[in-house]
Structure 1
Amino acid sequence: MIKIAQIGTSKNSHGNSIWESIKKQTGLFEIAGYAFPENEREKFPDRMKPFDGYPEMTVDEILANPEIEAVTVETEEIYLTKYALMASKAGKHIHMEKPGGRELVDFEQLIHTAKERSLTFSTGYMYRFNPKVLEALDKVDKGALGEIYAVEAHMDCKHPPEVRQWLENFPGGMMFFLGCHLVDLIYRIQGEPLEVIPMNCATGLDGVSAKDYGMVAFRYPNGISFAKTCACENGGFLRRQLVICGSKGTIEIKPFEVSAEGGQYTVMNETYHSNWNAPGNMTKTGIYDRYDAMMKNFAELVMGKKDNPYTYAYEYGLYKLLLRACGKEPA
């Protein structure tokens, strides 16, 4: 059993969902309490109810408590690295919302501190634990698709104008906020690209001036991969997809997420035929929760039951690549 506390929540990300997940996984987590260090209670009053009945603490109280082994850092994105670094310096294992704060130097210090102290460092890329993504990655790793020459990834949705304007807080706007999930998948499958070509822009719809349309191309030795993420696309949620193209076959995961009673499900199509009209083999998952597997994985990492395939070096490399995808070349 892991004694855990949460630092922060937010309006537009996964803080409340992570809290609900650790609350329900009572065989893994004992919740010590939570802290709202960035005036979350005043800024997000409609997000407070799930925390009722649990002790509210200060960050200092959480970090000074030797019984608290781990923290979930779920503040607004701009504060993530700040509090994760504080937690790592206090010797706490960390699950942090993706992708981290805005500055590479701060993220680098976080990774260095976590590695130096042999702390679990987990990030909120929940698609890493999507059942069909796991199945697809296993097929890629075992060579079932042959030589991978392209990955195409979409993550779109319809956000109101105030959320789209809020994206101006981040380099690259929507690419930083949600495109990070797609960059993670491409990087996991293909590694470091030869060239990064960011094409992020503002649609200008509803008077929004922030970059609410994210697009980036990655050039590899044998092909071009891309990530596209749009915040103003009607029907975009059900068009979220991952396509992995190899010399022996193609996997298409679409829809990535279909809401259903009790959770969601995912659909995958595999094609290994040269016949242009071959329909492929379509399968879908049962109903599952979007975050439970990720938080269970975090617990198992903290307890030493498995090694983390997403190493410190991987997370650092991913963050650097994301900044490039956002048009911000690391110094």
Structure 2
Amino acid sequence: MKKIKDSEVRWGILGVGNVCEVKSAPAMNIVPNSKLVAVMRRDEEKVKDYATRHGVSKWYTDAQALIDDPEVNAIYIATPPYAHAELTKMAAKSGKPIYVEKPMGRTFSECQEMIKACEDENTPLYVAYYRRELPHFLKIKELIDDGALGEIRTVHINLKQVVKPTVVANLDNNWRVNPQMSGGGYFFDLASHQLDLLDFFFGKITHANGYCSNQGGAYQAEDIVMGSFVFESGVLGSGNWCFTASASDEIDQVILYGNKGSIHFETFGKGEFTLKKENGELENFQFDLPNHIQEPLITTIVEDLLGKGTCNSTGETGARTNWVMDELVKQVV
């Protein structure tokens, strides 16, 4: 796989929306041997405003123009999922490494097309599942690998949210609940993080089955999903995602059960979790999270491209998460 011959990764971003304000793009100027040099958005006024506020010297309204910029040697695709496949294919032809937002695509099939496009040009493909590099999740992975839970038996996801009034009032501008743009609803946006994190902990999910429905009718996409899955290691899992719950029942909980203890954590909360030991003793862990939440993952990408390390969030792992989600929503009730 081709890496970068230069001593610095010089990023160009396709689609500088909200995710680029704090979460990702600013980190590209903080990570050693990394620099943001160009941004692109179709709306000229908005891309000029972004470039001015963030001190980026070059801006474009045409994706191909940014891809062809000789100063840019790595592409970050930060658009909604509907554009990921097309832009990845365009960028891959340049031979420049690609970092794409999550979920990787709208479907597993799109992810396969993206992987093939990059393989054909021998160029790296990374996916923005940044929780793989956050400190509390790295600690959980360490505890699992060191046997703190013994043999892992089951894992369970329970995510319940209310329908926010702003969602209903602004449907035309909310790509997250437009299946043509996102692949599905909030399940595709949020569960993708959870399922990828479990892939990081336990490896590939080989079997998945589920049911989905639109119970609330607030938007077109599914608003409830229930399912089960099996990891290649033999660990069994289940998930319950409901986005039309009561405010009193809102919850973000993942539990990992072993034969010597369990771990309880929130996917979208603070950098903390609880280890319940075999004797019933509870041990609480708390870690500070980075100001720019994608910085640790971007660091591994830069190090990988410069031959100084490795990144474990790739097109291959990102596609696996899309496959699981596709399987979980196959049966509509």
1: distance between equivalents of 2:87 and 2:248? 33
1:286 partner SS: coil
Amino acid in the other structure paired with 2:51: F
Match of 1:34 in 2: 39
Counterparts of 1:309 and 1:174 in 2: how far apart (Å)?
Answer: 25
Q: Displacement of 1:291 after TM fit? A: 1.8
Q: Note the residue ranges of structure 1 that are not aligned, 5 or more in a row.
A: 259-265
- CA distance in 2: counterparts of 1:242 and 1:254, whole angstroms: 6
From 270, 280, 283, the counterpart of 1:281? 283
SS of residue in 1 equivalent to 2:264: strand
Q: Do structure 1's residue 98 and structure 2's residue 109 form an aligned pair?
A: no
The answer to whether the aligner puts 1:61 opposite 2:65 as a matched pair is: yes
**Residue 318 (structure 2) aligns with:** 315
**Structure 1 pair 83–194 and aligned structure 2 pair: CA distance change class (3 A):** closer
Q: Which deviates more, 225-234 or 314-323?
A: 225-234
Where does residue 326 of structure 1 map in the other structure? Answer: 329
Instruction: Flag the 1:31–1:208 CA change in 2: closer, same or farther, 3 A.
Output: closer
Q: Name the SS of the counterpart of 1:240 in structure 2.
A: strand
Scaled by the length of structure 2, the TM-score of the pair is 0.80
Q: Assess if the C-alpha contact under 8 Å between 1:164 and 1:212 holds in 2.
A: no
Once the 2 structures are TM-superposed, how far is the Cα of residue 235 of structure 1 from its aligned partner? 6.0
Question: Which position in structure 2 is the counterpart of 1:21?
Answer: 27
The equivalent residue for 1:127 is 131
Identity %: 18
| Gaps in structure 2 of 5+ consecutive residues | 1-7
How big is the shift at 1:234? 6.4
Is the aligned partner of 1:243 residue 2:255?
A: yes
1:156/1:240 contact within 8 Å kept: yes
Deviation at 1:121, TM superposition (A): 1.8
Match of 1:190 in 2: 202
Q: Is the 8 A contact 1:167 1:177 kept in 2?
A: no
Deviation of 1:303 after TM superposition, in Å, equals 1.3
Displacement of 1:8 = 0.7
Amino acid at match of 1:244: L
Aligned residues: 310
Deviates more, 1:47-56 or 1:97-106: 47-56
Separation of aligned partners in 1, 2:307 and 2:150: 34
Cα offset for 1:86?
A: 1.4
Report the RMSD for the aligned CA atoms in angstroms: 3.1
Q: Residue 226 of structure 2 aligns with which residue?
A: 215
TM-score (norm 1): 0.80
Gap change, CA 1:136 and 1:180, over 3 Å in 2: same
Change (3 A) 1:253 1:86: same
Distance 1:235 1:60 in 2: 45
Q: Distance in 1 between matches of 2:68 and 2:110?
A: 22
Aligned twin of 1:51: 51
CA offset digits 1:210-247 (Å, max 9, x no partner): 31233332146866412334445566998423321111
Distance 2:79 2:314 in 1: 23
Q: Which has the higher contact order (CA 8 A, sep 6+)?
A: 2
Aligned to 1:2: 9
SS at match of 1:199: strand
Report the secondary structure of 1:204's partner residue: coil
Amino acid paired to 1:294? L
Asked whether the 8 Å contact 1:164–1:208 carries over to 2, the reply is no
